[in-house]
Structure 1
């Protein structure tokens, strides 16, 4: 089904994989059999791996967007950007505080996350009003609520072969349309708005070689989950580019390709790109943008750092069980052995959610030896495509989902998709079968739509099934379960009364692939103001939209309380700052920070606030000159530094730090880091960071991204202190390893902390205290 080749190798004319180029004779024999012209010695002259890597599609695009000197660090400027209504307010506030005058590139503000405005009174709609005034003032695009989810709009209106798009959402993926999409935290978008660059080391490129043709009943989510299950835990593609090639691509429709591509985020890769063909050309033609098409393919000889070889014909219907997209099983395997598999999931979840009893809840879904689910949802950028929904409608035609506990909801990804589904009768077919159809909304992906009942088991064609993504609160005894599946198997399950059923067990009808794109709905409702800023336009603030609090520069010394210790193998951004009901407060940094880690470690906020309160005392004491306070003296005596008391208080900031084995999997939301900083956080400590985007968020909010070796981990104790003398000087000097001191009462031990792979600009951001300070300082110098 899927094979991994973990060593670098060459791809020759898009068809032949070879470890080296020495055996030219046998290579040419294979090319001859494939009706391909042979290679000559001159084709291979000088093609060492570093040269041949530039023949990948990824490097052709990256080099074209690199504004730097061509060294090992790429300095990227993007063609367009996109944000949704959970992130764009903070981004624009940060950019404005840093000197923003107008958007220098097309910037699309969509409203697909906080579009249920009943939550939090007027809070969400106030953000939308702010977004529209920002688009008018600075010259951007504004897509009103319910019109399109962020990535469907970008596919339909902003992609182009050879382009690069940056989004403040982790699922920014448009590779199947020839566009490299990268999801990052808000500060990286701020840099683009201020005409700075996205700076990354040259990434490795992994070839995803597709062969064969999917069986009927196997959809894009099945292929995506199969790949995720093979590569995630080993980090095989972490922070790398996945490049899709091979004869299997021509067997896939564009919606099918998009459905696989958007899920590459869950592998932890940096970006993705696919070879393009006449189907991609036709897509752009249908959408009135045929000029955006160009053929993309690797050079005759391209070098990759590894290969994922996928035989599409051998993929089976899959399910990702709670609580991660990589927890993948074949549906047939689960049906054959439900008790053992679901018991294992329960045990794993019990270890992950230490503050709630889960035993027996999921195995209770086994009825007469079969797994019975309570809910189905098809939504968002992965599930809500025209083809997925049309297939489901044909499958359910003349059938019924029944009037029992099982429910099924469908969210078309955009109004143009919805209109075409209506015109072709598919929406009627769904409604007649008892399916509830809704507007374009990302809510089911992050816990704000179709929240199941306590202990409900929901199967979803969405992007994630992290803990609490479906809206449950394990800390309060409420839990629900989400399994990720393809639309086709969800429809098959619906036809079977909620009994888990792979789509390969029923007949799958053909769907007319013809599609007409109606651009008129966007022309009537989207504000398209790029290149037309109106500086006189005032931003409209609702009462919940607040500026970022002031943040000081990195002091000479730090004394940090270890406010949380998380021992899970991986910590998601949802656990660092929960999604769902907290979304309404994402424009209010102070209020949002109250939710930091509140499901994973409910005591964290109070611990962080307590040491932050002492820091506030210190700052006030410095203003009025009265340093004679017991709280300050107690910390001085605890540390027992080698300088006098008054100097130490002047030069030492008090704050907090969290430890997690591998933090930052999942969302690009900057709030996962900014909330820690708002509460006085100065650092993270990890064995490694799950994603580049989370580490970037830590840096851009002025926190030090420490790593440690595994043998140092046992030294870290919750509520102990970490003392970092001369941290500012050491960071400024470029040190990549420093010694800190763990202080736990009378016990004191050294700890070796690493701060590797920081660019000079990143070090300066941390020295200045955050990205806002960094840009404010650069404007005054």
Structure 2
């Protein structure tokens, strides 16, 4: 089904795979008659060509990228624009689309969601952007329909910013990276590795894009095969997939931890652009005659079967047939994983879902940028036709990804077919994907064609004894399960026919509702602020030395951004930095906020010219130990704050708040064995936090310990590889250990030294 090469590989003539061995040159010569070096062949990837066109550094090893377009949604654009405004923003220098698909239904906090929307509309007018009102489209569907273009690059503040199937290299990053683009700065990365995803064959009836995506994720996530690399989809199997099918696979590449994605394009993609009235944006993309890849994932589409990603990660994958055949064993494995993910905070079992040997599901959802596509919903309608979901616990909700998709489903009758079953059709909304819509009941099990199924995401509040769990599946198998009244069923058991539905895009829906400035800024417009929209608090520069208290210690194999700052109802507070910070780690370590605030008192006292030891008396003894070896350390040159340790933090969302919330609570650093994603590490850096690394093994410190990092400012300035630090134990002395920062660009070092990106840019 899925095979990974152990090293690099060549693709010859777009179809033939040649392993990177001593025989490669001879084999390539025999097939093509040409001789080419590995280095030259690596320049023949589609990714290399696009990156070269957007690189401003003149050095393809050290890229400085300027994007063509930007896009954000309503839990990120307020903070981004506020940050840019604090740094002198006058006009959006490129098309910037503000969509409203995350807080469009969430009613937490009274008026604050709609206040954010009005902020977005007035900023689009003032700075020359595009504003998409609530319920019109989820962020990525609008981008596919209206923004993508062959050979272009788009940067979005949502992690699933992926439009590779349409020939667009897109990346999801934290808000500060968009701020840099708004301020005419660059996205700075080393030239990424490129991994080929070689598709062959064609999917069997009943298999959908989520099945293919989950199979790939299951094969590459745990081993980091594509981490921070570009996935390039090639091979003869691409032609067997419709545009919608490709899009459905592509959006899920985020869950592999890759940097971006790109696909070869053909007449099917040309037709997509024609349907959407943008033929001029199509560009044919293909790898070169001989192309070198840093790795190769071979996907036999014929062998893919309906998949399920069990809680609590998209990589916990099985075929549905395998799950049904080995129910109790797999459920036992799931419960073991839950003990790690949930820290034993609640009793968790799925074995009570097994009745008469079959697994019973409580809820089905087809939604968002992954599930809400036209073909997914049409296929679900075909499976459900003439059936009904019943009047028991099981429910089914379907969210088309945009109003034009919804309109076409009404016109072709698929919406009526779905509604007749007892299911519910709703407007475009990302809520079911991040925990703000269709929240399951306590102990309920939900199957969803959405993007993620992390713990603490879909309404779970472990501290209140609440737990719900989500599995990821394709819309087709969700419909088959719904037709079977909640009995888990793969769509390959559907014995009916799938229709061939022609899609017609109604552009008037957007023309009549979306505000498009066409790049013209209107300085006379006053920005509309709601009472919840707050400025970022003042943040100081990095001092010469640091005293850090460890205020949370997390030993899970991976810590998601949902655990660092919960999604769901907390999203409404993301326009209020201090208000949102109260939720930091609230579902993982409820004591974190209080501990961070306590040590922050010392730094606030210091910044106001007072004595930190008066604010936090224990620091008198800590500094007493420090001064025995570093007599010059004092309140003028030593800062105080918090840090957390996590094995591998930052998997999942691009949300910058996972880092900024720690910062506004006085955080100066994270300490980790590694960082799960580039985007989370970048968020730390852009908020002036030190992304420390420590070797795996026995930790020299524990939770609540005090750490002293002497000369940290000079270490950052001098690009020190090893950074000396100490565990400080009053009355017992100091124990030395070593930290690293990893590679930092000169700009990143300056941002850390200044204290944050706002300070770096402030005139």
Give TM-score scaled by structure 2 length.
0.98
Structure 2 unpaired stretches of 5+: none
Q: 1:682 aligns with which of 648, 668, 673?
A: 668
Deviations 1:63-88 (A, max 9, x none): 01001122411110001010000000
Q: 2:32 aligns with which of 35, 39, 42?
A: 39
CA–CA separation in structure 1 for the residues paired with 2:211 and 2:56 = 39
Matches within 5 A, 1:128-147: 128-147=117-136
Match of 1:209 in 2: 198
Matches within 5 A, 1:150-169: 150-169=139-158
Shift of residue 756, structure 1, vs aligned partner: 1.7
CA–CA separation in structure 2 for the residues paired with 1:720 and 1:554 = 21
Deviations 1:615-658 (A, max 9, x none): 21222234x9998995653332142354557x611111100001
Match of 1:15 in 2: 15
CA–CA separation in structure 2 for the residues paired with 1:731 and 1:508 = 64
Answer whether contact 1:614 1:631 (CA < 8 A) is retained: no
SS class of match (1:621): coil
CA–CA separation in structure 2 for the residues paired with 1:582 and 1:428 = 35
Shift of residue 300, structure 1, vs aligned partner: 0.4
Match of 1:719 in 2: 704
Match of 2:315 in 1: 326
Between 349-358 and 91-100, the greater mean CA deviation after superposition: 349-358
1:637 corresponds to 2:624: yes
Match of 2:361 in 1: 373
1:743 corresponds to 2:731: no
Shift of residue 505, structure 1, vs aligned partner: 1.3
Deviations 1:339-382 (A, max 9, x none): 111111112101221152324x3111111111000000000000
Shift of residue 476, structure 1, vs aligned partner: 1.2
Deviations 1:150-195 (A, max 9, x none): 0000000000000000000000000000001100000000000000
Match of 2:653 in 1: 667
Match of 1:220 in 2: 209
The alpha-carbon distance between structure 1 residues 620 and 457, as it changes in their structure 2 partners (threshold 3 A), is same
Q: 2:696 aligns with which of 694, 697, 710?
A: 710
CA–CA separation in structure 2 for the residues paired with 1:458 and 1:584 = 24
Answer whether contact 2:601 2:616 (CA < 8 A) is retained: no
CA–CA separation in structure 2 for the residues paired with 1:262 and 1:94 = 28
Deviations 1:2-25 (A, max 9, x none): 100030121111111113585677
CA–CA separation in structure 1 for the residues paired with 2:6 and 2:503 = 40
CA–CA separation in structure 1 for the residues paired with 2:352 and 2:614 = 61
Match of 1:3 in 2: 3
Match of 1:34 in 2: none
CA–CA separation in structure 2 for the residues paired with 1:280 and 1:368 = 46
1:760 corresponds to 2:749: no
Shift of residue 48, structure 1, vs aligned partner: 1.7
Shift of residue 118, structure 1, vs aligned partner: 2.3
Structure 1 unpaired stretches of 5+: 30-37
Answer whether contact 2:558 2:651 (CA < 8 A) is retained: yes
SS class of match (2:308): strand
Answer whether contact 1:216 1:508 (CA < 8 A) is retained: no
CA–CA separation in structure 2 for the residues paired with 1:705 and 1:421 = 48
Q: 2:556 aligns with which of 568, 573, 584?
A: 568
1:770 corresponds to 2:756: yes
Q: 1:466 aligns with which of 440, 446, 454?
A: 454
Answer whether contact 2:197 2:232 (CA < 8 A) is retained: yes
Match of 1:486 in 2: 474
The alpha-carbon distance between structure 1 residues 454 and 445, as it changes in their structure 2 partners (threshold 3 A), is same
Match of 2:45 in 1: 56
The alpha-carbon distance between structure 1 residues 773 and 428, as it changes in their structure 2 partners (threshold 3 A), is same
SS class of match (1:640): helix
Answer whether contact 2:625 2:733 (CA < 8 A) is retained: no
The alpha-carbon distance between structure 1 residues 644 and 716, as it changes in their structure 2 partners (threshold 3 A), is closer
Give TM-score scaled by structure 1 length.
0.95
Match of 2:445 in 1: 457
CA–CA separation in structure 1 for the residues paired with 2:95 and 2:391 = 47
- What count of residue pairs does the alignment treat as equivalent? 761
Shift of residue 667, structure 1, vs aligned partner: 0.1
SS class of match (1:715): coil
1:519 corresponds to 2:507: yes
CA–CA separation in structure 2 for the residues paired with 1:762 and 1:491 = 48
Shift of residue 207, structure 1, vs aligned partner: 0.2
CA–CA separation in structure 2 for the residues paired with 1:529 and 1:716 = 54
Match of 1:612 in 2: 600
Answer whether contact 1:687 1:707 (CA < 8 A) is retained: yes
Deviations 1:497-552 (A, max 9, x none): 10100111122422223110001010111110142101121111100000000000
SS class of match (2:668): strand
Answer whether contact 2:378 2:501 (CA < 8 A) is retained: no
Answer whether contact 2:66 2:186 (CA < 8 A) is retained: yes
Shift of residue 233, structure 1, vs aligned partner: 0.2
Match of 1:505 in 2: 493
SS class of match (1:710): coil
Match of 1:440 in 2: 428
Match of 2:189 in 1: 200
CA–CA separation in structure 1 for the residues paired with 2:97 and 2:15 = 38
SS class of match (1:539): coil
SS class of match (2:231): strand
SS class of match (1:14): coil
Shift of residue 27, structure 1, vs aligned partner: 5.3
Shift of residue 740, structure 1, vs aligned partner: 0.3
The alpha-carbon distance between structure 1 residues 24 and 603, as it changes in their structure 2 partners (threshold 3 A), is closer
SS class of match (2:509): helix
SS class of match (1:752): strand
The alpha-carbon distance between structure 1 residues 749 and 158, as it changes in their structure 2 partners (threshold 3 A), is same
Answer whether contact 2:218 2:316 (CA < 8 A) is retained: yes
1:585 corresponds to 2:578: no
Match of 1:33 in 2: none
CA–CA separation in structure 2 for the residues paired with 1:570 and 1:24 = 41
1:396 corresponds to 2:365: no
Answer whether contact 1:105 1:530 (CA < 8 A) is retained: no
The alpha-carbon distance between structure 1 residues 122 and 250, as it changes in their structure 2 partners (threshold 3 A), is same
Shift of residue 283, structure 1, vs aligned partner: 0.4
Answer whether contact 1:161 1:293 (CA < 8 A) is retained: yes
Shift of residue 577, structure 1, vs aligned partner: 0.3
Match of 2:71 in 1: 82
Answer whether contact 1:8 1:305 (CA < 8 A) is retained: yes
Shift of residue 763, structure 1, vs aligned partner: 0.5
Shift of residue 28, structure 1, vs aligned partner: 7.3
Q: 1:348 aligns with which of 330, 337, 355?
A: 337
